[in-house]
Structure 1
């Protein structure tokens, strides 16, 4: 019996020792975790700061385009900055001409009795060089007050850079009706310069030949310089 009691006391002492050791281990784990979370806080703050420094806005904001323009070019990146500010550029340096800076006029330029052609001239009245590259948007207004959009002809746009005072021209081409039965009675040409949203209204040139067919048979061609 004496040996049994001694063994029991020894077992209780071992259990107590193990319990104290386990408690010490738990405290050590908590301290380590606290230190870990404390050291990670500056990293999280830094990440937030980096996020605030990046361009905001979706794909339409121009930020991604600006980044693409800059990457690996080693050239003037002013176009990237322009795109980020919402300014449209052509070759990285020259902005598109604004409607307000253009003097626009239309004239009959038919080369013969069968082919109708309207020349539309745009003169840069602004103080800076600009680009008129591309297709203008054109609608023809009829005497019945309806307007018809004009389709693009099959032609490749050419770079058209206008210094102050320079002119660009684009054409409307169609076949002339010589039967006297034309159903088209154009009164005005609505012109929106390339890459612009503001429109000007011009008078249909007096003396221009009658349009054969419908307005869908008229085509607009891209701009080019007059030099």
Structure 2
């Protein structure tokens, strides 16, 4: 009987111990779960904050780039004003002379028997001042109906501004062939004024000396005023 009670008390104690251990285990698991959840939330919050900073930096960088482009555009607009300013400071509204406004003539102006020179004069018959600065385009037509372009001589163009009634002149220069065996038989001079596209045909001046060599030996010089 005594042994039975001792056995019953022992069983009771063992059951109580097991119950207490089970309770402690659940509490520990709950604590661990709570800590894990807190850690996860903290990590998620940290990650979210980091991403937000990155986007903000990118946005700010884009804004600065946009401002830079805007500034560049303003510089570009200022640059487009430069040609207009230059045009005003360079003489205002003076335009190049038009072929239709020029009376053009060719004359023999040889200074001696060995040096050939033809003066081509252009008179401004228009109502406005114009510029004839530069080299005229010149071709010489031969009696065989061919034409040859004339090369430019070594000279710097001079500013040639013509008021109504003013004249400009340019020269063709070559060496005269006195042998009587010249192979060149020029009939016309085709003249295109500087910075123009319309051409006029002038007769080769009567009495002009024969060209020595070929038409490639003739040179054209830039315009200048007669004053």
Instruction: Give the TM-score normalised by the residue count of structure 1.
Output: 0.72
1:15 paired residue number: 36
- Shift of the 100–23 alpha-carbon distance from structure 1 to 2, 3 Å rule, reads farther
Larger radius of gyration: 2
CA distance in 2, matches of 1:137, 1:126: 21
Please identify which structure carries the higher helix content. 2
- SS state of the match for residue 13, structure 1? helix
Unaligned runs of at least 5 residues, structure 2: 1-20
TM-score normalized by structure 2? 0.72
Q: Could you say which residue in structure 1 is the equivalent of 2:87? A: 79
Counterpart CA distance in 1 for 2:50 and 2:198 is: 69
What per-residue deviation string (whole Å, max 9, x for no partner) do you get for residues 152-171 of structure 1? 22222222111111110001
Q: How many residues were matched structurally?
A: 203
1:140-151 matches, cutoff 5 A: 140-151=140-151
RMSD: 3.6
Tell me by how many angstroms 1:120 deviates.
0.5
Give the secondary-structure state (helix, strand or coil) at the position aligned to 1:139: strand
Q: Distance in 2 between matches of 1:220 and 1:157?
A: 12
For the residues of structure 1 that align with 2:130 and 2:183, how far apart are their CA atoms? 39
Q: 93-102 or 209-218, which moves further after superposition?
A: 93-102
1:151-199 Cα distance to aligned partner (Å, 9 max, x none):
2222222221111111100011112222221110111111122222332
The gaps in structure 1 that reach 5 residues or longer are: 56-62, 71-76, 82-90
